[in-house]
């Protein structure tokens, strides 16, 4: 029986590459998305992967959405918490709304999703949770107090849940992508982006597939003894 993988923010950017890679690796995949119906419909047409719309920032919506995925595909064995947004601003200009939106999606979203699959994973004595954090959760980034805080929080929940899940056969790991060539990074003003690329020893942006391959490994049986860890995939831009 194929395992079931649920990828949040799974129809665009890094999430789309993760959905596709897991599907190719033999998983039944559900790709969650929050807003872009057009992109999701195109993704579904091109890949045949089922798409489900809800906001990870909404606990009840996560509960209902996961119930629908499980009714359609079966219990979720692999959860990839990838959904994330930016609301970049220097701190002196950041609004409480910009702070809240990013924390609600990028950090509370991980709670909302994981809390709703955790009991099932414990009962079945198997689970894989992969949290997509960020280089900016490790090193901090000017203009991203909200995002850096949320992504650092994702590393904290990863380590706490790794300890709680280990005896129940659940691994919880994080990946910290560096700057990857997605819409999110391309939205950074070109002059700022060029300065960032100049700081990457590899001399280029990463590719979404380079993150997706890390996820496939962490989801596999081969990675069963790896939990609470962080894979940094950033072209040498930052070492922990
Ligand atoms: N460190 C310290 N100060 C900085 C700075 C830095 N890196 N960058 C800018 N500043 C200062 C400027 O010198 C300026 O100071 P003064 O007002 O005293 O002159 C002040 O901050 C304002 O700078 P800007 O004029 O550039 O401000 P802005 O409002 O036009 O833009 C910004 C601010 C939106 C945050 C813009 O700088 C920006 O987009 N930065 C990029 C942030 C970033 O890296 N985002 C990553 C997005 S991709 C992602 O998040 C994916 C992932 O996981 C990696």
Residues lining ligand 1, Cβ inside 6 A:
86, 88-90, 134-136, 141-144, 147, 179, 184-185, 188-189, 192
Residue of 12, 87, 90 to test ligand 1 pocket, by largest number of atoms within 8 Å of CB: 90
| Domains of the chain and CATH, by start | 4-230 (3.40.50.720)
Indicate the pTM of the whole model. Answer: 0.96
CA angle 138, 234, 187 (to 5 degrees): 85
Closest residue by CA, ligand 1 atom 27: 90
Token pair of 90 as six digits = 């220097």
Question: How high is the pLDDT of residue 209?
Answer: 98
Residue 52 — left, alpha, or beta (φ > 0 → left; ψ -120 to 50 → alpha)?
A: beta
Question: How high is the pLDDT of residue 240?
Answer: 87
Question: How high is the pLDDT of residue 1?
Answer: 79
CA dihedral 61, 169, 232, 156 (to 10 degrees): 60
Question: How high is the pLDDT of residue 168?
Answer: 98
- Known catalytic membership, residue 59: no
What are the pLDDT tens digits along the chain (240 aa)? 799 999 999 999 999 999 999 999 999 999 999 999 999 999 999 999 999 999 999 999 999 999 999 999 999 999 999 999 999 999 999 999 999 999 999 999 999 999 999 999 999 999 999 999 999 999 999 999 999 999 999 999 999 999 999 999 999 999 999 999 998 899 999 999 999 999 999 999 999 999 999 999 999 999 999 999 999 999 999 998
In tens, the pLDDT along 54-92 reads: 999 999 999 999 999 999 999 999 999 999 999 999 999
What's the CA gap between 175 and 191, in Å, rounded? 27
Question: How high is the pLDDT of residue 32?
Answer: 98
Question: How high is the pLDDT of residue 214?
Answer: 98
Residue of 101, 142, 178 to test ligand 1 pocket, by largest number of atoms within 8 Å of CB: 142
């Amino acid at each position: 029986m194929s395992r079931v993988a649920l990828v949040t923010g799974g129809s665009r950017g890094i999430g789309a590459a993760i959905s596709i890679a897991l599907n190719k690796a033999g998983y039944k995949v559900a790709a969650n998305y929050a807003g872009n119906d057009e992109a999701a419909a195109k993704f579904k047409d091109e890949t045949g992967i089922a798409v489900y719309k809800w906001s990870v920032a909404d606990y009840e919506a996560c509960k209902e959405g996961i119930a629908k995925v499980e009714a359609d595909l079966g219990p979720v064995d692999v959860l990839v918490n990838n959904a994330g947004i930016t609301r970049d601003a220097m701190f002196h200009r950041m609004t409480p709304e910009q702070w809240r939106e990013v924390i609600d999606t990028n950090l509370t979203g991980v709670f909302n999703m994981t809390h709703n699959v955790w009991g099932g994973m414990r009962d079945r004595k198997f689970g894989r949770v992969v949290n997509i954090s960020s280089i900016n959760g490790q090193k901090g980034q000017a203009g991203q107090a909200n995002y850096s805080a949320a992504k650092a929080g994702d590393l904290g929940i990863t380590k706490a849940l790794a300890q709680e899940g280990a005896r129940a056969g659940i691994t919880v790991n994080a990946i910290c992508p560096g700057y990857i060539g997605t819409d999110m990074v391309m939205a950074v003003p070109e002059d700022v982006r060029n300065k960032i690329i100049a700081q990457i020893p590899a001399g280029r942006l990463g590719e979404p597939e380079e993150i997706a391959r890390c996820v496939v490994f962490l989801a596999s049986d081969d990675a069963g003894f790896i939990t609470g860890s962080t894979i940094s995939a950033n072209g040498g831009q930052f070492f922990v």
